[in-house]
Amino acid sequence: VVQSDGCSCAGTNLGGVQNFTLFTSTGALSNAGTSTVNGNVGTNVGALTGFGSPSTLNGTAHAANAATAQGVIDVQSLYSQLFITPQTVFGHAPAFGSGETVSPGVYAIAAAGSLAGTITLNGLGDPDAVFIFKFGGAFTTGAASNVILSNSAQSCNVFWISAGAISMGASTHMKGTLMTSPGAITMAAGGILEGRLLSTTGAIAVSNALVLAPCPSPPAGTGCNDGD
């Protein structure tokens, strides 16, 4: 897909969702504490609260308008597209992290899964390398979990797909697009996300967070992490 600034990521069609960093089709979208969010936020059905001062939103808040109506279609399409992508890596346990390094591919866990500690995504020198992690249930991250991108891996090509709620522990440093259908998404205090939070049905809540658009194409002037 060609992003809005002309940069490109490997073959995943985000449609209008590429313009959002936080989006839910049906559910409340909220921020607590002081956060910085780079990119648009939106909900098609539900309250949108907490993105004014003292927090900083470097983007536009959308609620029940043409952009969110298109988002409903696009987020469902993206979720369906990713969830039916055939598995290519077999045998991984439901728990990820603990210092491991993984290569590009499609990882599928039939039930709930988790991330704890550090995981390094090794792009093997290919900036179009895609990582898809699919969970048949809820997905959780432990406090201070950390996703590191190495060897040309890019956050715009990383996807964490859950058929249940997504919950990130305090101070999680996350990379990639996190999607659930259906289910709520919560990002506990101190979290840093280089990517997106998307839900077809469920509330999205962040707290004292830093949310950056995924590389290589953040909104102009907002920057993005270097992958460390």
- Average pLDDT taken over every residue of the chain: 90
pLDDT of 216: 62
pLDDT by residue (tens digit) across 206-215?
Answer: 999 999 988 7
Q: Which residues pair with 122 in a beta bridge?
A: 150
Give the predicted TM-score (pTM) of the model: 0.91
How many other CB atoms are there within 10 angstroms of residue 123's CB atom?
21
Q: 58 with 224: CB under 8 angstroms?
A: no
Q: Say yes or no to pLDDT of 131 above 90.
A: yes
Two tokens, residue 15:
């449609």
Q: Say yes or no to pLDDT of 121 above 70.
A: yes
Q: Which residues contact 90 (CB under 8 A, 6 or more apart)?
A: none
Share of residues in the chain with pLDDT > 70 (%): 89
Mean pLDDT for the stretch of residues 9-24: 82
pLDDT by residue (tens digit) across 41-71?
Answer: 999 999 999 999 999 999 999 999 999 999 9
Q: Give 9's pLDDT tier (boundaries 50, 70, 90).
A: low
pLDDT of 217: 47
Q: Which helix (H) or strand (E) holds 224?
A: none
pLDDT of 4: 31
Pick the range with the lowest mean pLDDT from 62-71, 76-85, 94-103, 218-227. Answer: 218-227
What's the chain's Rg over C-alpha atoms?
16
Q: Give 19's pLDDT tier (boundaries 50, 70, 90).
A: confident
Which residue is listed with tokens 């058929």? 163
Segments in the chain forming alpha helices (H): 66-83
* 17 against 64, higher pLDDT: 64
Q: Which residues pair with 89 in a beta bridge?
A: 107
Q: Give 101's pLDDT tier (boundaries 50, 70, 90).
A: very high
